[in-house]
Amino acid sequence: MVTLTSNRITLRPWREDDLHSLVRHADNFNIWINLRDGFPRPYTEQAGRDWLKMAMDLKSNLFLAIETDGEAVGGIGISFKEDVYRKNGELGYWLSEQYWGRGIVSEAVVLLVDHVFTNYPDILRIYANLFSFNPASARVLQKCGFHLEAIHKNSVIKNGQLADEHCYVRFR
């Protein structure tokens, strides 16, 4: 079990007792709009139970709760890739809107990326894909040492809007 801490946050495994906090913080249009459609809207208790079951049972990826003020207020994780992509990890994250603008995601990204590069010697490259209409996330990644590697033109559709996908990468 991985637990990572800084002065303000703890990244820790998800727990069943995170359900109410998860649903309360995740059920937000402004979070949903910046994530893949696998992140449900509305974010119901059943969706929360399904996520927690998967996140707690999963051994091949690293999905952690972002805890601050004594509760889970977001999530961050690395999906380890397979086959010809086996040296890659895909980074994803979200944070409760009430905690935006405080540098929490930047802290979480640094903690997790440093942990992965230290403890998973086969991972050479960590990347994050984000929608072109999410400049705040681009700033987070740049601040954490990622650089824009590619722009996939008109490659995603979210909420009926066609958009570019930006791929940010950081190498070991």
Helix runs in 58-103, H state only: none
Question: What is the residue range of 105's domain?
Answer: 4-171
Task: Write the Ramachandran bin of 149: left for phi over 0, alpha for psi from -120 to 50, otherwise beta.
Answer: alpha
CATH number at residue 130: 3.40.630.30
Residues 6+ apart with CB under 8 A from 87: 81, 122, 123, 124, 125
Least confident span in 48-62, 84-98, 110-124, 150-164: 48-62
Burial (0-12, 13-18, 19+ Cβ within 10 Å), 11: buried
Using pLDDT thresholds of 50, 70 and 90, give the confidence band for residue 103. Answer: very high
State the total domains in the chain: 1
pLDDT at 168: 98
